[in-house]
Structure 1
Amino acid sequence: MSFTKLDYCQYLLSSPINYTVTNLADHLEGVSHDQINRYLRGEKLTPRLLWDNVKALLQASQNAYLLFDDTVLDKRHSTSIELARRQYSAACQREETLPAEPPWQRTSCPSRHWACKLCVCQW
């Protein structure tokens, strides 16, 4: 089975906790960890690619903003990350639950609200 950008993007969208090549390979029949790793080393996945794929879904509003966070940090102190609701900390091997009402739900903007996490790791 070949591995494509669509396969990778669908995995990122559907996996709420564990974004690892090993986890992805464990959930795909006929695709190995090494095959996915080679694909990711050769593929260029840029913030521009993400923007080009989501900009048509967004509605402009003076009461809203879009934030992309590309940091990879230890989540032991995740209660101090204001816009995050749930995070998985690989360092602590646990999921952190944050306050039930994130700031983007307190806005008066009647349109849809999005929280995005862009994580591109170079090992």
Structure 2
Amino acid sequence: MIAGIGLVTCVYVNPETDQFWLIDYRLFAPDVDGKTKLDHVTDMLDQLAPRGILYRTVLMDSWYATTALFKWLLAAGKTFYCPLKSNRLVDDSGDQQPYQPVGCLCWSAEEVAQGKILKVKGMSRDCKLKLFRVLVSTHRTDYLVTNEAEPRDTAAAEQESNVRWTIEPLHREPKQLTGVQACQCRLARSQRNHIALAVRAWTRLKQAAYQTQRTVYQLKQGFLDAYMRHELIKSALAFA
């Protein structure tokens, strides 16, 4: 989400080349279309197959860690990594004890390093997920859940999940380079057009940056430098 706009984005990331592309977005406006952010996410994922976009893993924020989305991804045969909130109810006892919050689980040294198998409330009994405990700082612990079939340790799972932070430069660059959040129009259609054009401008900048092996900031600054040099040599404006 971009603060003040309500832009829900779907980003394709290639971690091997360290490149990413914005492939879809939705404007969160429940008063207009009655759709939640989860509805928008499902709509975007539904559109990937008809568009011929192949992907293996879905990374998302804890906001989207719903049972319905987990079931959708499992039915689609996709792998997912997602943080769980500490109050999410789970069972790691094999149906021997009632569900309890993630934050109340007991962890052995081996489980901290390798993760633990458990069931999330609302999922079928035969659906076992793997939970990892990630120590972010002395005051913060994250819980990361995945349906990855192959055995992975906590460090590998954390590295896989960290790819989702690619969303941060994607939200930062359009704001700093295109002014996507600075439109002063009052009509909803004008705002939507402005956002679409800003996203289009950023997409072209990003494509050119990949081709020239420069950053989008260097590319835009180069445009401005060339313009200033041209104006200093032969100004298009006549001064008295």
TM over 0.5: no
Greater share of residues in strand? 2
Which structure's relative contact order is higher, taking Cα pairs within 8 Å and 6+ residues apart? 1
| TM-score (normalizing by structure 1) | 0.28
> TM-score of the superposition, structure 2-length normalised?
0.18
